[in-house]
A and B are shown apart, each in its own frame.
Chain A
Amino acid sequence: MRLDGNAAAGQLRELFAMDVTAAMATCGACGTRRPVGSLLEYGQAMGVILCCPACAAVMLRIVRTPASMHVDGSGMAMLVIQV
């Protein structure tokens, strides 16, 4: 099921000290810059995958286990958070 970054906001909030859905994320594959809330989101049970809405490349992966969060942000070239 495809949703968007808004649906991942709760899990992202566990990872970051502040809400990042309004933060601007740059795709590492095509360079498109979009708010995290507008990225495409797949899956919810094991974790979250956020993809670029322009080229569909994976930008951020979060996998949860009972004891840990595994975060792969290698598809994201930049994340700019307003403070």
Chain B
Amino acid sequence: MKWTVASVVEVRDEALHAKTLVLDVPDWPGHRAGQHVDVRLVAEDGYQAQRSYSIASPPESRQLELTVERIDDGEVSPYLCDVLHVGDGLEVRGPIGGYFVWDVRDAGPVLLVAGGSGIVPLMAMMRHRARADANLRALSEMSLLYSTRTLGDLFYLQEIERLVEEQNVRAAFTLTREKGDDRRGYHRRIDKAMLTDVGWPPSHMPRSYVCGPTPLVESVARTLVELGHDPSRVLTERFGPTG
């Protein structure tokens, strides 16, 4: 797998501390929803820093989109969010990963659970479903549970609301550091009651995709298994704060 220089064709704000980079990658072989790429920065003295970023764009899209959360003391994300501009080059390799992937042809109900920037690969899955024909969409009902600290940390909010209205996606949000009533969303960490409300009954044999910080992923995966879900259908991807 070779490193390729992608060119930045668009940079847009995605949330308070996150930007989406739209990349043109020469000879991109295509990807599956849920995969990631490695990004490499090389300093003039040869020092290298490498990070993995999930792909936000669906397989149907010709351009590659990465949403990068800016970690203040990080090595790579401040460069990607603050310094990189349209027309710049960026070294990438990929697509990478074959475990945490979903295809609309897999059919069957899907539960997506995201913590923070863990929404990114799940967004690729929702976008992939949105581009499928109506028959396939009907076979893969989708429900999203998305946890962030505050409202300003939510990525893709308007697009998710549009998917709820137009694509029959169910979505619930929980804001762990904001107080409020629970009419428009939850205000606590993801728990068994929430997963029961938002998820599918184990008898429907859903596939669950859980992505976010390690403690959230492990807690959600454990709870889903306790609720009676088949462990082999609970797929997890842990994100680290590597910045």
Binding site for B on A (CB under 8 A): 1-7, 9-10, 13-14, 19-22, 35-38, 41, 44
Question: Which residue in chain A gives the minimum CB-CB distance to B215?
Answer: A2
B1 touches A38 (CB 8 A): no
Interchain CB contact under 8 A, A38 and B236: yes
The one of A2, A9, A36 that contacts B238, using a Cβ cutoff of 8 Å: A2
The complex places the Cα of A36 from the Cα of B237 at a distance, in Å, of: 12
Is B240 touching A19 in the complex (CB atoms < 8 A)?
no
> A-contacting residues of B (Cβ < 8 Å)?
1, 36, 38, 50, 52, 93-94, 96-101, 214, 235-240, 242
B38 and A6 contact, CB distance less than 8 A: no
A7 with B98, Cβ < 8 A, contacts A2-B214, A13-B1, A14-B1 known: no
Q: How far is the CA of A10 from the CA of B38 in the complex (A)?
A: 7
A18 to chain B, nearest CB (A): 8
Q: How far is the CA of A44 from the CA of B48 in the complex (A)?
A: 13
Q: Across the interface, do B214 and A7 meet the contact criterion of CB distance under 8 Å?
A: no
Q: How far is the CB of B125 from chain A (nearest CB, A)?
A: 15
A-chain residues with CB within 8 Å of residue B239 when the two chains form the complex: 3
Q: What would be 28 A-B contacts, judged by CB atoms less than 8 Å apart? A: A2-B214, A2-B238, A3-B238, A3-B239, A6-B36, A6-B99, A6-B238, A7-B52, A7-B238, A9-B52, A9-B96, A9-B97, A10-B38, A10-B94, A10-B96, A13-B1, A13-B96, A14-B1, A19-B97, A19-B98, A20-B98, A21-B98, A22-B98, A22-B101, A36-B99, A37-B98, A38-B99, A38-B236
Q: How far is the CB of A17 from chain B (nearest CB, A)?
A: 10
Contact B97 A37 (CB under 8 A): yes
Measured between alpha carbons, how far is A7 from B96 in the docked complex, in Å? 9
In the assembled complex, how far is the CB of residue A69 from the closest CB belonging to chain B, in whole angstroms? 14
B100 touches A37 (CB 8 A): yes
Tell me if B's interface is mostly helix, strand, loop or mixed. Answer: strand
Which residue in chain B gives the minimum CB-CB distance to A10? B38
Residue in B closest to A21 when the chains form the complex, CB atoms = B99
Interface centre among B36, B97, B237 (most CB of A within 10 A): B97
Q: Are B214 and A3 in contact (CB under 8 A)?
A: yes
Query: Can you name 5 extra interface pairs (CB under 8 A) apart from A13-B96, A19-B97, A22-B98?
Result: A2-B238, A9-B99, A19-B96, A21-B100, A37-B99
Q: Does the CB pair B240–A6 fall under 8 Å?
A: no
Smallest Cβ distance from B2 to chain A, in angstroms? Answer: 11
Contact B240 A3 (CB under 8 A): yes
